[in-house]
Amino acid sequence: MTFWKRLRTYLIGVGLGLLIVYFIFGDRDLSSWTPQRRVLTTIDSSEVSISERAKCQLACLNMQEEDWKKVQHEAEVNFSESNTKKKPCPIYQLGSNFKESDFLLIWEVCEDQEKVKLMGISKKGVNCQCG
């Protein structure tokens, strides 16, 4: 068997395998296992509490619950600024675009207790005098 015949047979097999995988797994969201998606899913599906500092900041920014939820929905996790090693509950920093982000949310995520706490929220250019 020549090299080209073996290569053609191999490529046909790989192509058939890819088609089978596409038909079996094509409708699944394959990004749900990434660290980013896991943190955001945990925040969305857990019991939420708000710290006193965050309540003060929300009042200062004149934001309601649906406002910060909208900001959170568009946000991404900034792992370089987050404290992912903190035990028992890591702290994550969320923002929409870290270079030009208007809002920054800080969450304490306790996965094992299924609880999250909004520790702080800030907006670029607004200085709230909250402790």
Q: Which residues of 5-24 are buried (b: 16+ CB within 10 A; e: fewer)?
A: eeeeeeeeeeeeeeeeeeee
Looking at the fold, whether 14 and 73 belong to one and the same domain comes out as no
Is residue 94 within 8 A of residue 72, CB to CB? The reply is yes
Give SS3 for 61. coil
Query: What is the greatest pairwise CA distance in the chain?
Result: 78
The domain of 3 spans 1-29
Which pLDDT value is given to residue 100? 52
Q: Which residues of 39-51 are buried (b: 16+ CB within 10 A; e: fewer)?
A: bbebbeebeeebe
Residue 4 pLDDT class (50, 70, 90 cuts): very high
Which pLDDT value is given to residue 125? 80
Query: What pTM was computed for the model?
Result: 0.72
pLDDT in tens, 78-128: 898 899 888 889 999 998 765 555 888 899 998 888 899 999 888 888 888
Average pLDDT of the segment spanning 70-76? 83
Q: For 26-100, where are the alpha helices, taking DSSP H only?
A: 35-45, 52-60, 65-73
| Structural domain contains residue 111 | yes
How many domains would you assign to the chain? Answer: 2
Looking at the fold, whether 92 and 47 belong to one and the same domain comes out as yes
Can you tell me the distance from the alpha carbon of 29 to that of 10, in angstroms, rounded to the nearest whole number?
29
Looking at the fold, whether 115 and 74 belong to one and the same domain comes out as yes
- Looking at the chain, the whole-number percentage of residues with pLDDT higher than 70 is 94
Q: What pairing do the DSSP bridges indicate for beta strands 115-123 and 103-110? A: antiparallel
Q: Measured between alpha carbons, how far is residue 110 from residues 31, 49, 66, 86, 88 in Å?
A: 22, 11, 22, 10, 7
Which pLDDT value is given to residue 33? 80
Looking at the fold, whether 47 and 93 belong to one and the same domain comes out as yes
| Structural domain contains residue 129 | no
